[in-house]
Amino acid sequence: MENRNFAGDLQISKVNKWYPGDVHAVKDMDMEIKRGEFIVFVGPSGCGKTTLLRMIAGLESISSGEVVMDGRIVNKVPPKNRDIAMVFQNYALYPNMKVKDNIAFPLKMQHIGKTEIERRAAELAQKLELETLLERKPGALSGGQRQRVALARAMIRKPGLFLMDEPLANLDAKLRTEMRREIITLQRELGVTTIYVTHDQTEAMTMGTRIAVINGGVLQQFGTPQEIYRNPANLFVAGFIGSPNMNLWDTKLVTYQGQHYLTLGNTHIPIDVSNLPADGLREPLKAGIRPEHIVPAAPDEPHAVRMKINILENTGREAAVFLTGADMPNLTVVTDADFSGQVGQEVYIRLKPEKIHLFNIETGSAYG
């Protein structure tokens, strides 16, 4: 089939992938992606995100279902005719070409003028901090430098779709943060629909306009970073997104004198009735609260919970306080960096009732 330009609307419809040996790597995947979106696939190692990306690229056959670009089924269209630019973890550069020629290569193929090619290559080299390496060959680069050359080569032209699989995996923390911003800026300038695969939830939260959280080949939730953080659809998403993790504990609902409480270890804490579903809760239940929604309390405050500081991690910007107590679940609190408590000390805390999430343990689904 001939090469056709792709405007950028992508639909993944009931896509499955079985590998030999009965490995069901991707299960009934459904997604609608709009032109210009920056979509992140995130999930633990082996969850199927690379397989899904490779099916979108045309590098992996689709066992069932459809990949649709601009309304056209492309299951059988070869990768070179899909108008995509890819940066994969081990995507090879041309070993005999200098860095500058590697970067410029896709534009040369399009017969674009030399001056324009040089201008664009220089601009990308500057943005991706490659200016001093332009005359070298890939063999004389570090892994992280090679990755950045591959990114520059992918982003030098404007394809219909960018596919990126952990393109920053080999970079140190500082460069990684800088490169994230450069990728986002470049992507926005170009307006190209992008799918970015990572197992790093911070990367997902900071880069994605929408995030697809995947586990065991199944799409767990697809939404904006804020939606996913504020309203995780299930226990997996609740535990996976957010650092430090959401506090989760086994709980029961207790009602007396018209007020609803949840058990927290050996104590009861009030709950906001708006957290309760109209058709009731089915036990066993798990409750969850983000570390920033537990706050210091005065000892005589109603429902203050007494616990002991076990570990204290102060980053200078904020303090993560890990608490323990007899017959109590461990709790993590994130508070101000000027928090003055010491390890071993007792503290009183309070859980903000309106910030508590409830989950059905058997199905994992969130209530509310």
- Please give the residue ranges that form the binding site for ligand ATP (CB under 6 A): 19, 21, 23, 25, 43, 45-51, 199
**DSSP string for 233-270:** SBHHHHHHSSSSPPEEEEE-EEEETTEEEEEETTEEEE
- Residue 163 CB: number of other CB atoms within 10 A? 25
- Could you tell me the smallest distance in angstroms from the CB atom of residue 116 to ligand ATP? 37
Residue type present at position 277: P
Q: Distance (Å, rounded) from C-alpha 250 to C-alpha 284?
A: 8
Residue 174: its H or E element? helix 173-190
Contact predicate 323/308, CB 8 Å: yes
Contact predicate 67/15, CB 8 Å: yes
- Could you tell me the smallest distance in angstroms from the CB atom of residue 311 to ligand ATP? 29
> Quick one: tokens of 313?
């991690």
- Could you tell me the smallest distance in angstroms from the CB atom of residue 59 to ligand ATP? 11
Q: Distance (Å, rounded) from C-alpha 14 to C-alpha 34?
A: 18
- Could you tell me the smallest distance in angstroms from the CB atom of residue 163 to ligand ATP? 13
- Could you tell me the smallest distance in angstroms from the CB atom of residue 24 to ligand ATP? 8
Whose Cβ is closer to ligand ATP: residue 51's or residue 193's?
A: 51
CA distances from 110 to 104, 107, 151, 157, 336 (A): 10, 5, 18, 9, 54
- Could you tell me the smallest distance in angstroms from the CB atom of residue 177 to ligand ATP? 20
CA distances from 126 to 59, 66, 254 (A): 31, 39, 61
- Could you tell me the smallest distance in angstroms from the CB atom of residue 197 to ligand ATP? 7
Which residue's beta carbon is nearest to the bound ligand ATP?
A: 50
Residue 197 φ/ψ region, left for φ over 0, alpha for ψ in the -120 to 50 degree band, beta for the rest: beta
Contact predicate 150/83, CB 8 Å: no
- Could you tell me the smallest distance in angstroms from the CB atom of residue 169 to ligand ATP? 10
Please list the residues that pair with 162 across neighbouring strands: 85, 194
- Could you tell me the smallest distance in angstroms from the CB atom of residue 164 to ligand ATP? 13
Residue 124, CB-side half-sphere exposure with 13 Å CA sphere: 29
- Could you tell me the smallest distance in angstroms from the CB atom of residue 45 to ligand ATP? 3
Contact predicate 142/150, CB 8 Å: no
Whose Cβ is closer to ligand ATP: residue 44's or residue 368's?
A: 44
Whose Cβ is closer to ligand ATP: residue 1's or residue 23's?
A: 23
Whose Cβ is closer to ligand ATP: residue 44's or residue 284's?
A: 44
Whose Cβ is closer to ligand ATP: residue 53's or residue 333's?
A: 53
Whose Cβ is closer to ligand ATP: residue 214's or residue 289's?
A: 214
193 alpha-carbon distance from chain centroid: 17
> Quick one: tokens of 155?
């982003």
